[in-house]
Structure 1
Amino acid sequence: MALGLMVMAGVLQFVSRLVEGNTTTLKVTRLEQDIRTLMDIMLQDIRRAGQFPEGVADLGAPIRFMQDQPAAPMIDGQPLRDGLVGSVLSYAYRDTDGKLVSGRFAHDAKAGTILMHTGTASAAEAISDSAFMTVTELQFQAARTQVKSGALTVATPAVQIRIVGRLKSDPAIERTQVGRMTWRNPVVSP
């Protein structure tokens, strides 16, 4: 009987450690998936930066093109330039209906949460789950390629995004996701 109890205790201890290991694996997997989802949301929205419906009609008229294009993207309130690093990315675009002339979109992190500022809305929306994880770092690093054509400069901005997140329940578990994207729409300037 004592031998049976010892065997049962050993099996229970083994099962307990197995369940604990699986729980940790599930938490890490969810953290990685949540950070990857945040990255995808941000990349998809940023890709639209600089889009405006008049762009095709304005191709033969560079002055009108420059007047119609939305404001250039910025990091921490500064125009994008090669190597610029910061924690807030803001940009603008107009949908096909031509609206949103003065609204800007932005991503930043405050109090361990990634916030998305949507156009002319007054309050930012949290797009990360603050009950599950803490975002310890949100970093944007700019890269910019440009070509001079006569009196005009055509720049193609790019940005590398770095997100670092930790589990709320176990801060020792941390994951990092890095993504890079190039704007679909170049910025034309004199």
Structure 2
Amino acid sequence: MTENLSKSILKVRTGLTWLWLSLAILIIDQITKYMTIQMLDLYQSYEVLSFFNFTYARNYGAAFSFLGNAGGWQKYLFTGIAFIVSAYLIYSMKKNKASDRWMNCAYALVLSGAIGNALDRVIFGYVVDFLDFDLGFYRWPTFNVADIAIFIGASMIIIDSIFWADKREKAKENNK
């Protein structure tokens, strides 16, 4: 009986098995932010390449410092949004099969980024940013590993919705 139960549990694996990716990216994000705080003073910059620097910056807002000067209430708004989005992503991963690699990977990346930046807001009151690109004609806003994870994961979700969502829905209908 125990053997049959074990086999049935293994067959019903969900997308939650992809939480390892969220954890790995979250650890990388937090370690790089910790190293930034320890090694650089605020706004201090270390040139890596002529167009790329490690620069310690604080973001009190959201993407591109949106609402960064709003007086402090935005910290709670963005933290709340991050936890709601995280709960939805975990729910979505639970509903997905583990074999749906593309979407589970996308959800795991967005989840790790949302949690990484929310942790910063809860601990520090701001998000630690340190990746700084200056192309001479354009300086990109400073960002971090969590932001990269969110960007890649969200891009994967958009690509899926454009190219594969209809095919997946039709396949589900045909299997009914």
Over alpha carbons, which structure has the higher Rg? 1
Flag the structure with higher helix content.
2
TM-score (normalizing by structure 2): 0.31
